Amino acid sequence: MISDKAFARAYRLGDTEEVRALKADVVELKAITNAALRTADEIAEARAGRAEARVAEWEKVAKAYEAWEADIIINNETWRTDDLPHLTQAQFDRMIKIQDMRNAALALGKQEAG
C-alpha cells in the first residue's frame, strides 16, 4: 500500500519512473477495491434474496397454521363431545402437512447457516 508521504514525495519529483509506478499502484488498488465492493454487493444481494425466500416460506406456514386454527375453532365436529376439541382426520392431516411446511422452512435456515 502507498503511504501519503511516499505519494507526496513522488508528486514532488514530477513524472518519474517512481511516480508512474505509484500511479499504476493506485490504479491497481482502485480496481481491487472496486472488485471487492462489487463482490460485497453481490454477496449482500444473494443473502437478501435468500432471506426473502425464507420469509416467504414462513409466511406460508403462518397462514396455513392460522387457517387450520380457524377451522378447529369454527368446525362443529371438533367440539361434538365435550369442552375439549377433538381433531377430525382432515384437521389432523392438515396439522401434519403444516409441520412438514415448518420443517422445510427450518431446513432453509439451517442450509444458510451451515
Residue 11: band (very low, low, confident or very high) from pLDDT cuts 50, 70, 90: low
For residue 103, give its domain range: 4-113
Q: Using the predicted structure, report yes or no on whether residue 50 has a pLDDT greater than 60.
A: yes
Per the model's pLDDT, the better-predicted residue between 53 and 23 turns out to be: 53
Q: Using the predicted structure, report yes or no on whether residue 30 has a pLDDT greater than 60.
A: yes
Please give the C-alpha separations between residue 67 and each of 75, 97, 111, 114, in angstroms, as whole numbers. Answer: 12, 13, 28, 32
Q: Using the predicted structure, report yes or no on whether residue 10 has a pLDDT greater than 70.
A: no
Tally of domains within the chain? 1
Distance CA 45, CA 26 (A): 28
pLDDT at 2: 61
Mean pLDDT, the chain, rounded, equals 83
